[in-house]
Structure 1
Amino acid sequence: MKKLIFALAVMSVVLFAGQAFAHFGMLIPDTDELTQAKRTVNLVLSFSHPFEGQGMELEKPAAFFVAVDNDQRIDLLATLKPAEVMGHSAWKTSFTAKAPGLYTFVFDPVPYKEDAENNYIRHITKVVVDAYGEGENWNTPLGLDTEIVPLTRPFGNYAGNVFQGVVLVGGKPAPYTRVEVEFYNKDGKREAPNERMVTQEVLADGQGVFTFACPWKGWWGFAGLNTAEKPYEGRELEMGAVIWVEMK
């Protein structure tokens, strides 16, 4: 009986370890470019393991807005409508750009309780959309609690390009931040040869700068992970600075 209990315990640990994929806040538009022919962008907000296609529940975010040319902020929280992504609660909305410029969409979630890691997760997630070819100053911080400021233009990229960014916490570079990188395997056609290949990982340098080359076309998520100074609801709070970039 003791041997059986031990074997079951080992099996549960192995199975649990096999499910320990990276979490990502997801903010995916149907385009990273608005033109005269397409003036409206459709966006989906979710929380998931994007490569493996495993979804998690996303409560209505605490905040959701678009920053126009890194200046004017338009509150979009009331525009969100319920949706479903990977079998779990998500949100969707549409936005029409009335003028040329840079449109950075941001959502700040209600912290997600992760019992498996005995913590809470707060991924402040953003994506940048260029409107009518006038998206400039794309490397300007928005003043978020934590964010990735791109050093590579976050739109209009080829597959195979390098993406580079700097992780900020409290407006300052966060040295040696661990950055998780994952491909949104939306159609499920990509298959990792083993579990360690699902989530790529790079370490920022002493100035908070990281670099990663994206081999495939599609959406790539970058999550710079740090721990908040203060716990949340008695648990450690993972602060994720997340940005999504499309490679074409």
Structure 2
Amino acid sequence: MKPLLFSAALAALAAAPACAHFQLIYNPEPNLERPGDVPLRLIFWHPMENGHAMDMGKPLELFYVFKGEKIDIGETLAPITFTGAQNGAAAFEAALPVKRNGDYIVGLVPAPYYEESEDIYIQQITKVFFNKGGIPSGWNEPLGLPTEIVPLNKPTNVIAGSTFSGRLLSQGAPVAGAEIEIEYIAAEPDMETNAVGEATVGPVPGGAIVAITDENGVFTFGIPRAGHWGFAALGAGPATEHEGKELSQDAVIWIKAYDLD
């Protein structure tokens, strides 16, 4: 990892609360059986502690990639209010059009968010995965984002009790020695009311859950329970400034784990 990027990541982690900001692209079910428009909720939140939600600005880019083709879905964006356990915040809904079988990788480039308490901007470039028909078609391919996490396990049906691995890239190159912050959606959003549901777990003791990338930019984490898991590399992106202030450009990925029946 570049020294400046590594320093930025460490500084961001040091300043972060025990359960940090995580950008979501949310739908409860990534495995799809029928064609149609899949509703999405874009929320900037503290999901593991079921905590404070942040106001999102209009995303700079929202798209999906299917079999190597990138399709913009920014025109489906509409503002909503997400009601968390502590407050309401500006969020967005959108729709993913699904027709053929295969992998649909949704990417979000949000507007930088100003975190007043730290006097920095945060931009969490986020990916989530859907699949129709159980047929793989590119879930392990990078999207060419400024920074991103590429899954090394199929991200739509990780088994609880197994492991998940990903490779962190910045400008297409693996990032060694980076800290990956790990988050769990403790209380899943209700798609009808845009409000948080009941929490199933509480924050873990000892602060953020963290893994470290190896010399190839790869990290591995044991998945202890079913549900939605997020992984964020803080300060991994090439951009370090926005409107004259420090910018933490982060890579975020979400997966879903299932229990074996």
TM-score bucket (shorter structure): 0.7 to 0.9
Is it true that 1:64 corresponds to 2:62 in the alignment?
yes
Higher relative contact order (CA 8 A, sep 6+): 2
CA gap 1:18/1:236 in 2 versus in 1, 3 angstroms: closer
Is it true that 1:44 corresponds to 2:38 in the alignment?
no
How many angstroms apart in 2 are the aligned matches of 1:21 and 1:193? 9
Q: Which runs of 4+ in 1 moved over 3 A?
A: 17-21, 227-230
Is it true that 1:240 corresponds to 2:250 in the alignment?
yes
Q: CA RMSD in A?
A: 1.8
For residues 178-227 of structure 1, what are the alpha-carbon distances to aligned partners after superposition, in whole Å with 9 as ceiling and x for unaligned?
10001011121212353x25x31111112111011121211011001225
Greater Cα shift, 145-154 or 126-135? 126-135
Aligned residues: 228
CA gap 1:205/1:119 in 2 versus in 1, 3 angstroms: same
For residues 96-115 of structure 1, what are the alpha-carbon distances to aligned partners after superposition, in whole Å with 9 as ceiling and x for unaligned?
31111210011101111112
Which residue does 2:29 correspond to in 1?
31
Which residue does 1:216 correspond to in 2?
225
Q: Is the 8 A contact 2:78 2:93 kept in 1?
A: yes
Is it true that 1:76 corresponds to 2:77 in the alignment?
no
Greater Cα shift, 163-172 or 136-145? 136-145
- Offset of 1:138 from its aligned partner? 1.6
Is it true that 1:206 corresponds to 2:198 in the alignment?
no
TM-score w.r.t. length of structure 1: 0.86
Identity of aligned residues (%): 36
Is it true that 1:183 corresponds to 2:180 in the alignment?
no
CA gap 1:61/1:229 in 2 versus in 1, 3 angstroms: closer
CA gap 1:124/1:229 in 2 versus in 1, 3 angstroms: closer
For residues 157-181 of structure 1, what are the alpha-carbon distances to aligned partners after superposition, in whole Å with 9 as ceiling and x for unaligned?
2222211000000000011111000
Q: Is the 8 A contact 2:148 2:168 kept in 1?
A: yes
Letter in 1 for 2:251: A
Which residue does 1:172 correspond to in 2?
173
Which residue does 2:20 correspond to in 1?
22
- Offset of 1:63 from its aligned partner? 0.5
Structure 2: runs of 5+ lacking an equivalent: 1-14, 188-197
CA gap 1:234/1:20 in 2 versus in 1, 3 angstroms: farther
For residues 87-133 of structure 1, what are the alpha-carbon distances to aligned partners after superposition, in whole Å with 9 as ceiling and x for unaligned?
11111122231111210011101111112222111100010111112
Greater Cα shift, 152-161 or 177-186? 152-161
- Offset of 1:20 from its aligned partner? 5.6
- Offset of 1:147 from its aligned partner? 0.3
Q: Is the 8 A contact 2:239 2:249 kept in 1?
A: no
Larger radius of gyration: 1
Question: Which residue of 176, 187, 192 corresponds with 2:203?
Answer: 192
Instruction: State the secondary structure of the residue aligned to 1:106.
Output: strand
For residues 3-49 of structure 1, what are the alpha-carbon distances to aligned partners after superposition, in whole Å with 9 as ceiling and x for unaligned?
xxxxxxxxxxxxxx99563111111123111113x644221111111
Is it true that 1:122 corresponds to 2:110 in the alignment?
no
Letter in 2 for 1:188: A
Instruction: State the secondary structure of the residue aligned to 2:75.
Output: helix
CA gap 1:35/1:175 in 2 versus in 1, 3 angstroms: same
- Offset of 1:75 from its aligned partner? 0.9
